[in-house]
Amino acid sequence: MFGFYPKHCGTVPLETDRLILRPLTLDDCEAIHRNWGADTTVYEYMTTPVMPQPEDVELFLRRKLQAYKSELTYYWGIFPKDVGECVGMVTVTEVGKYSLTGNLAYALGQPWWGKGYAKEASEAVLRLMFDTVGLRLMYGCHFVGNDRSGATLRSLGMCFTGRSQTPISHHGKMRFFDSYELSRKDYVTRIR
Ligand SMILES: CC(C)(COP(=O)(O)OP(=O)(O)OC[C@H]1O[C@@H](n2cnc3c(N)ncnc32)[C@H](O)[C@@H]1OP(=O)(O)O)[C@@H](O)C(=O)NCCC(=O)NCCS
């Protein structure tokens, strides 16, 4: 066989100046519910469902524990060192055993917006995906109106690649979405 294949490693713990990123456990249930999982504002532009009850978070965590058995699962809880509990998440989805691309996504509880945590967490994740896993292209997208997410993607050095031509139904509204991407080549020459 020819070509390059990714060296998937799953959700390995990561550390930045201010953050610990690690796989979630059932012990994180209460903090996730209190800090972000049950907040409809956090989920306004998300494609996954809000979790109003603690039981919803517990079910979500049980599914994640199963998913963590796969080295294709990349889903970290974000733990600021000075808080010590889970205040959000960062994930890479749409990865495949033989594909060299991944989709970056993140969320934080509202009290932790505007501190640069999504950027800091995403930088660590991009480093892992490009330098360790060996992906060639990372991309991200957000619904039009989710300006904070667009700002985060741009702050990571991602390039705007276009707006969807067709709106899709989301929470009862028809929404367009904006797409961004960052190649490994650009990452190595401009960012790393
Ligand atoms: C998207 C989301 C994670 C962005 O959060 P954020 O805190 O605005 O993102 P960043 O980490 O990029 O932080 C940038 C902000 O932190 C500020 N900041 C403070 N200290 C900083 C630091 N040390 N480094 C970088 N930025 C810092 C920046 O000035 C900027 O603030 P501003 O936007 O008010 O000017 C957040 O809005 C969210 O969770 N939304 C709901 C979930 C969601 O929609 N997810 C995306 C789905 S596509």
What's the pLDDT tens digit per position in 129-164? 999 999 999 999 999 999 999 999 999 999 999 999
Q: Is the separation of the CB atoms in 88 and 111 below 8 Å?
A: no
* Cα(155) to centroid(ligand 1), Å: 9
Asked if the structure places residue 4 within a domain, the reply is: no
Kindly report the protein residue whose alpha carbon is nearest to atom 10 of ligand 1.
Answer: 116
Q: Locate 107 and state its tokens.
A: 């969320």
Adjacent-strand bridge partners of 174: 169
Query: Does residue 98 lie in a domain region?
Result: yes
CA–centroid distance, 54 to ligand 1, in Å, is 26
Residues 161/180, Cβ–Cβ less than 8 Å = yes
86 CA distance to ligand 1 centroid (A)?
16
Q: Does the residue 6 lie in any domain?
A: no
pLDDT digits (tens, 9 = 90+) for 87-104: 999 999 999 999 999 999
Range(s) of the domain holding residue 178: 14-191
Residue 3, classified by CB atoms within 10 Å of its CB into exposed (0-12), middle (13-18) or buried (19+), is exposed
* Within-domain flag for 47: yes
Instruction: Please tell me the total count of domains within the chain.
Output: 1
pLDDT at 1 over 50: no
Q: What is the pLDDT of residue 97?
A: 94
Q: What is the pTM of this model?
A: 0.96
Classify residue 123 by its DSSP letter: H
Report pLDDT for 3.
Answer: 63
Residue 5 lies in a domain: no
Within 10 A of 165 (CB to CB), how many other CB atoms are there? 6
Distance between CA atoms of residues 143 and 27, nearest Å: 32
- Radius of gyration in angstroms for the set of CA atoms belonging to the chain, rounded to a whole number: 16
Position 124 pLDDT exceeds 60: yes
* Residue 1 resides in a domain: no
pLDDT at 160: 98
Tell me the CATH number at 117. Answer: 3.40.630.30
Strands 137-143 and 101-108: parallel
Using 50, 70 and 90 to split pLDDT, how confident is the model at 4? confident
Beta strands in the chain (DSSP E): 14-15, 19-22, 74-80, 88-93, 101-108, 137-143, 159-163, 168-170, 173-175, 177-183
The verdict on residue 7 lying in a domain is: no
The closest-lying atom of ligand 1 relative to the alpha carbon of residue 118 is 11
